[in-house]
Amino acid sequence: MSKGILSSPPKRKKNPIAATVEYLALRSIVAVLRIPPLRAAYVLSEIVLFSLYFLVPRFRARSLEQMETAFGEKLTSDEKYDLLSQSIRYNAWFWADMFIAPYLLRRRSYQEQVDCSSITQLLDSLEVPGKSGFLMVSSHQGAPDIISLALGTLGYKTGVVARPPDNKYISSFIQKGREGFGRTEFAKNGALRPAYKHLKSNGILGLQIDQDAGDTGVFVPFFGKLASTHKGPATLALMSEMPTYMVFCIRVEARAFKFKLFVEELPKFPSDPIDDETIYQLTTAMTKHVETYTERFPEQYMWPHRRWKTRPKSESLIARTNPQPKQASGRQELASKS
């Protein structure tokens, strides 16, 4: 069974009335989408999301703005609108996979429809097959939620670091759909220590690195523009000294629950000491893989997210993109407390 979200609650609490209305609206949509076969549910989810983009123009404008920042003159205006249309379809299928597929598909369906061979072969090649922790870093590309769910159905001890929805009713609803998939979730706020313990107990842990991290992030290049990026994946990789790879779950067939996992190796960085420069270099390497897969499968990226929302506000923030090494105490202290 899923162990639910561990660690801290959401940072913000929604108004109870607004939270209830959102929850009931979502449950109504999901209830309708569960009636037909999954392929038909994908079509209906497209209609829902296209309607939302029509009714809420800021979603459409935000996606086009992000595409413009990423591709600039590499794509014409018509090509960007065509990419937007494709992106809406893929995002609609993504939400259907999150809210509907776990209810309509059995564990065996996940095993048969998600090609995990790249991961299983990699785990078998480790020094002690099946006895080693493994850190997977991914992005909002394709269907990242399915990576850990699919591996959980294969019997691996999986966990993910995720930000819980602000709406507690929706959060509980999502968790209920995960029951039986053998995955533990760690709330992003305060997840470092429990996630470290999970890795050290031979668990497989998934994190995502491609969302704006605000002023606390490290600014690294993404499509040639500085983007505030979470330090957590690089910090945890260095502290745990566990095998760390980029993993992407890409949909390989339109309007179908059919995926393939892609694994990319990361360069080795010294973990003693764990300093700002090393964290920056590893975060840059991770982000470069996200950029590569976004270029390969642009229609499967989550374009509504404002990836370049936070901008460097001073010379000191800009300097953080190439920081001077600082002695750090991290890994030894964390290990002693675990």
DSSP codes, 280-331: HHHHHHHHHHHHHHHHHSGGGB-TTS-TT-S---SHHHHHTTSPPP----HH
pLDDT 10s digits, 143-162: 998 898 888 888 888 888 87
Determine the residue type at 253: E
Structure token pair of residue 87: 């992106």
Find the helix or strand (DSSP H, E) in which 71 lies: helix 57-71
Among left, alpha and beta (phi > 0; psi -120 to 50; other), residue 20 is alpha
Residue spans of alpha helices (H) in 203-299: 232-240, 276-296
Tell me how far apart the terminal alpha carbons of the chain are, to the nearest angstrom: 25
pLDDT in tens, 110-144: 778 899 999 988 888 775 555 567 899 999 999 99
Residue 165: the pLDDT is 77
233-239: average pLDDT: 92
- Work out the number of other CB atoms within 10 angstroms of the CB of residue 155: 10
Confidence of residue 180 (pLDDT cuts 50, 70, 90): low
Tokens of 309: 């929302």
The band of 312, judged by pLDDT with boundaries at 50, 70 and 90, is confident
Average pLDDT, the chain: 84
pTM of the predicted protein model:
0.85
Q: Which residue has the higher pLDDT, 170 or 245?
A: 245
Q: What is the mean pLDDT of residues 4-28?
A: 71
Percent of residues, the chain, with pLDDT higher than 70: 84
Task: Look at 98 and 180; give whichever has higher pLDDT.
Answer: 98
64 vs 161 pLDDT, higher one: 64
Instruction: Considering only residues 242 and 188, tell me which one the structure prediction assigns the higher pLDDT.
Output: 242
What is the model's pLDDT at position 192? Answer: 78
pLDDT tier, 174 (very low <50, low <70, confident <90, very high otherwise): confident
Q: What is the dihedral of CA 337, 235, 211, 155, to 10 degrees?
A: -70
**Residue 93 CB-half CA count within 13 A:** 27
pLDDT of amino acid 167: 83
What pLDDT does 10 receive? Answer: 46
pLDDT band at 65 (very low <50, low <70, confident <90, very high): very high
Burial of 323 (0-12, 13-18, 19+ CB in 10 A): middle
Of 80, 148, 162, 141, residue with least CA distance to 116: 148
Within the chain, strands assigned E span 5-6, 114-115, 134-138, 158-162, 183-187, 204-208, 218-222, 225-229, 244-251, 259-265
By the 8 A CB rule, do 211 and 230 touch?
A: yes
Q: Quick check: 255 pLDDT over 80? A: yes
Band of pLDDT at residue 63, cut at 50, 70 and 90 = very high
In this predicted structure, the answer to whether residue 56 has a pLDDT above a threshold of 70 is yes
